[in-house]
Chains A and B, each alone.
Chain A
Amino acid sequence: MKDDMEHKNSIASTKRAEKFAFGIIKFCGIITIIILVAIIGKILINGIPHLSWDFLTKEPENMGREGGIFSVIITTIYLTLFSIIIAGPIGVCAAIFLTEYAKEGIILKTIRFGTESLAGVPSIIFGLFGYVFFVVALNLKYSIVSGGLTLTLMIIPTIIRTSEEAIKAVPVSYREGSLALGATKWQTIYKVVIPAAMPGIMTGIILGIGRVIGETAAVIFTAGSSLGLPESIWRPGRTMAVHLYILASEGLSQGNTYATATVLIITVLIINLIANKLMKKLSKA
């Protein structure tokens, strides 16, 4: 009888402990949402009142205290396009090699190690490297080209990794069918495997775009921070993230700081939304 009571008590206390622990764990899950909403909310609430068509289409004036962010948007687009045009094809080709051609061995291991390590290099190191290699050694000066090439190296690991997964997910039967019909290996890859893996590949590229748009440390020492529309890709420019950093850290203008942050965060939200949709499409297929 007494034993039974104790047993019941211990069950009750186990249950209490479980309830308590689950409460804390649930809180950990919820707090991530609270943080996200707090950050985005703070930026949007302070930024949206300062947004206007003029802000998007007018040049910055008085060091960015007044006016809009037109040239800043254009520079960001230039830089993004430049790095994606180079990093996209290289990354996808690398992923094709790693999944379809490479045989297990020392070469594959070395490439994997290199890709993983490059992904872990912090952006300030990319900035230092881009400065000493592209800006100084290759004499490309502070320019969209220097910045774009630096960012290319930075986002290649992301693109390789995502594309690799997408290509691996294409069923072997697709390849076998194509090969059986007499197609060569490359024809099979080009006509069958890549189209099937396209949503995943695009996800990687879009994530790469997101990183380029949000990057500051690697850009500021390679593409520079000069305001004004770059006349060509050989000229320096200031991206949105760099502009935001300068406005915020020098306390130039509250309104313009938040408005720039709003444009930046909305862009990032849209990019993530697209990546998310593509990912879902892929997992359904």
Chain B
Amino acid sequence: MNEDECGGGNVKFHERLIEIILFLCALTAIFGLVLITYFIFREGVPIMFKYGIKKFLLGTTWAPLRYEYGIFPMIIGTILTTLGALILGVPIGVGCAVYLAEIANEKFAKIVKPAIELLAGIPSVIYGLYGLTVIVPFIKKVFNNQGFSILAGSIILAIMILPTIVNISESAIKAVPSTYKEGSLGLGSSHWQAIYRVIVPSAKSGITASVVLGMSRAIGETMAIIMVLGNTAIIPQSILSPARTLTGNIGIEMGYASAEHQKALFATGVVLFIFIMILNIIANMIYNRAGENK
């Protein structure tokens, strides 16, 4: 009896220990996030204050050799390439999601779905290489400019955010109760009318979340965008001008920057990080609310 109890206690202790270990593992992600935030801010924030936050964010000259750290051109570059990517990518992505969820027969869906998974799996350097060797020369030929441009970046980013938009939108559309569609069809609407009047509006939150997430992907992309954008740190004049993004600013100069210059790159990282965190939180909030409504 006594021994048995001892054994029982041992098992209990053992089980408890395992639970604690598992708990610690579950904390790694949040621990990592805290570490990342702390170190990026610790490196980047002091120089922002030293240089002046307003001058840093709205300054139009980025010339580290002359201790000028205005990242406004990069903010504009990021916004324009991302907008371009959304304009090109969102209609195609949502269209593809509607196609997969509502129209495609099983045979065709079986080809399109893995294709989208593969697009998500292709490394960004490969997209960059494709942009560099196909899209940039194409733009150069058509518009007779240098080829490296916001347009080239937007096209590549549009392709890269497709999987995010398609996957999340598709599951949002599929989550719309079939009674909605049946009701609409029963009232005499055509399938298409049911899709754009009833089904897509009902899936609005999920689709919006997919767009916001796609946007955050586009803003965070580095390697592919460096390879096609031209990377001049001046405010672009048109979508055919070269530009530099926040990520590009870090990616290009981090290799050789030192001292204050390097800190200024971390400060660029702080701005980027805040941008992306806000977008991700918004996307999560929209997505979770959509989940609760159903």
Q: Mark each residue of chain B from 256 to 294: 1 if its CB lies under 8 Å from any CB of chain A, else 0.
A: 000000000110010011001101110010000000000
Instruction: Name the CB-closest residue of B to A115.
Output: B29
Q: Is A281 part of the binding interface, using a Cβ–Cβ cutoff of 8 Å? A: no
**Set A129, A216, A268: member contacting B122, Cβ < 8 A:** A268
Residues B81-128 near A (CB distance < 8 A): 91-96, 98-100, 103-104, 108, 111-112, 114-119, 121-128
With contact pairs A29-B95, A128-B40 given, residues A244 and B25 touching in the complex (Cβ less than 8 Å): no
Once the chains are docked, how many angstroms separate the CA of A36 from the CA of B28? Answer: 35
B222 touches A122 (CB 8 A): yes
- Kindly provide the distance from the CB of B31 to the nearest chain A CB, expressed in whole angstroms: 8
With contact pairs A42-B134, A244-B125 given, residues A94 and B118 touching in the complex (Cβ less than 8 Å): no
A111 touches B27 (CB 8 A): yes
With contact pairs A129-B40, A265-B126 given, residues A160 and B29 touching in the complex (Cβ less than 8 Å): yes
Please indicate the chain B residues that have their CB under 8 angstroms from the CB of A160 in the complex.
29
Once the chains are docked, how many angstroms separate the CA of A245 from the CA of B127? Answer: 11
| Most A C-beta atoms less than 10 A away, residue of B118, B124, B133, B134 | B118
Q: Is B178 part of the binding interface, using a Cβ–Cβ cutoff of 8 Å? A: no
Instruction: Name the CB-closest residue of A to B14.
Output: A186
Instruction: Name the CB-closest residue of A to B95.
Output: A28
B21 touches A93 (CB 8 A): yes
- Kindly provide the distance from the CB of B28 to the nearest chain A CB, expressed in whole angstroms: 5
Please indicate the chain A residues that have their CB under 8 angstroms from the CB of B2 in the complex.
none
Q: Mark each residue of chain A from 13 to 45: 1 if its CB lies under 8 Å from any CB of chain B, else 0.
A: 011011001101111111111011011001100
Number of A-B contacts (CB under 8 A): 259
**Set B36, B116, B127, B247: member contacting A129, Cβ < 8 A:** B36
Q: Is B58 part of the binding interface, using a Cβ–Cβ cutoff of 8 Å? A: no
B122 touches A28 (CB 8 A): no
Main secondary structure of the interface of A (DSSP, over half): helix
Please indicate the chain A residues that have their CB under 8 angstroms from the CB of B281 in the complex.
117
B33 touches A245 (CB 8 A): no
Please indicate the chain B residues that have their CB under 8 angstroms from the CB of A94 in the complex.
22, 25-29
Instruction: Name the CB-closest residue of A to B158.
Output: A35
Please indicate the chain B residues that have their CB under 8 angstroms from the CB of A245 in the complex.
125, 128, 223, 227
Please indicate the chain A residues that have their CB under 8 angstroms from the CB of B220 in the complex.
120-125
Please indicate the chain A residues that have their CB under 8 angstroms from the CB of B280 in the complex.
116-117, 120
B residues near A, CB below 8 A?
A: 11, 14-15, 18-19, 21-23, 25-36, 39-40, 43, 91-96, 98-100, 103-104, 108, 111-112, 114-119, 121-130, 132-134, 159, 162, 166, 190-193, 195-196, 213, 216, 219-223, 226-227, 247, 250-251, 254-255, 265-266, 269, 272-273, 276-277, 279-281, 284
Taking A39-B159, A122-B272, A245-B125 as known contacts, 5 extra A-B pairs with beta carbons closer than 8 A to each other, sorted by chain A number, are: A22-B103, A31-B92, A117-B277, A153-B29, A213-B123
> 9 shortest A-B CB distances, which residue pairs?
A122-B220, A214-B123, A114-B30, A28-B95, A93-B25, A18-B192, A97-B22, A29-B99, A120-B280
A-B contact pairs, 10 of them (CB 8 A): A17-B190, A38-B134, A93-B21, A94-B26, A118-B30, A118-B36, A122-B276, A125-B36, A129-B40, A132-B39
